[in-house]
Amino acid sequence: MYEHRHERLLPFAAFVRRWLRHAGIAIGVVVGSIAIGMLGYHFLEGLDWVDALLNSTMLLGGMGPVNELHTFWGKIFASLYALYSGIVFLVVAGVLFAPVFHRFLHHFHLEFIEVEDGSENSK
């Protein structure tokens, strides 16, 4: 998926396309997670769709639930969804920053090779 350390640094336009693919994956994960939250809050807790959207996005954003929970299964769902939301936050951050971090490390590795070997690697 990524270029090897001995390969040239990816051109900037190709890097942007790579990052946009990662951003698309991250957006898909977030949209899917919101859908899961909305379905759970709507069917298990009986919230209308707008309140279900509000609660699921607030949990995914780290703010916490808005509406008071009344049913046993709604509370179980909300607790599991809160744990899931914390993991999704880390996964999305990793997916978004992986190309940037790789390019950063690859760039410095190329400079290190140039100084050490005295050769010219194209950037």
All domains of the chain in start order, with CATH: 12-117 (1.10.287.70)
Of all residues in the chain, the percent with pLDDT exceeding 70 is 84
pLDDT tens readout for residues 75-91: 999 999 999 999 999 99
At residue 3 the predicted structure's pLDDT band, cuts being 50, 70 and 90, is: low
pLDDT tens readout for residues 38-79: 999 999 999 999 999 999 999 999 888 899 999 999 999 999
User: What local confidence, expressed as pLDDT, does residue 123 receive?
Assistant: 46
Report the alpha-carbon distance of residue 109 to residue 122 in Å, rounded. 12
Query: 19 or 122: which carries more pLDDT confidence?
Result: 19
Buried b vs exposed e over 19-48: b needs ≥16 C-beta within 10 Å? beebeeebeeebeebbebbbebbbebbebe
Residue 2 pLDDT greater than 90, yes or no? no
Contacts of 8 (CB under 8 A, 6+ apart): 110, 121, 122, 123
Which residue type is seen at 56?
A: S
Query: 80 or 121: which carries more pLDDT confidence?
Result: 80
Mean pLDDT rounded to a whole number for the chain: 86
User: What local confidence, expressed as pLDDT, does residue 117 receive?
Assistant: 52
Report the alpha-carbon distance of residue 121 to residue 123 in Å, rounded. 6
